[in-house]
Amino acid sequence: MGKKVAVFRKEHFNAAHRLHNPDWSDEKNQSVFGLCNNPNYHGHNYELVVQVTGEPDPATGYVVDMKILSELVQEEVLNRFDHKNLNLDTAAFAKLNPTAENIAMVIYDLLRARLDEKLDLKIRLYETERNFVEYPA
């Protein structure tokens, strides 16, 4: 079995969201989600790190062509979410609470569907400088 290398592509997008569970009272939503429950939404500067792991192709020396990876992220993630209200403007979060966890899982599924199955994929998403998530864990 060959040696695997991880390659990373960093991207950035801005988006608004509101965390809210419609099954709960306003008080409970406020107490669980705090500032992220603001009824009029608020924005985050999301930092996205896409990690692709695999054996470098013997012909190119690449795990994945970074130009193709960056176009893929542009197409599937940035075009869909950048400068959008995640709750109101995107089908993915019409019914799904747009937490960093859920956003990372949605991004994973979008990219996974377009990547060679022999490559491993991991998503790291920063909602703030100090708060970030990884999927798969």
The catalytic residue positions are: 36, 83, 127
Q: Which stretch binds Ni ion (CB under 5 A): 32-40, 46-54, 95-103, 109-117?
A: 32-40
H or E element that contains 69? helix 66-73
Shortest distance, position 36 Cβ to Ni ion, whole Å: 3
Q: Note if the bond before 56 is cis, omega within 30 degrees.
A: no
Contact of 48 with 29, CB cutoff 8 Å:
no
Closer residue to Ni ion, CB minimum distance, 36 or 77: 36
Measured from the CB of residue 15, what is the shortest distance to Ni ion in angstroms?
10
Min CB(17)–Ni ion separation in Å: 6
To which H or E segment does residue 135 belong? strand 132-135
Interface with Ni ion, residue 15, by CB under 5 A: no
For residues 8 and 66, the answer to whether their CB atoms sit within 8 Å is: no
Contact at 8 Å (CB) between 44 and 14? Answer: yes
Candidate list 36, 63, 111, 121; residue touching Ni ion; CB under 5 A: 36
Residues that contact Ni ion, how many (by CB under 5 A): 1
Catalog residues that contact Ni ion under the rule CB under 5 A: 36
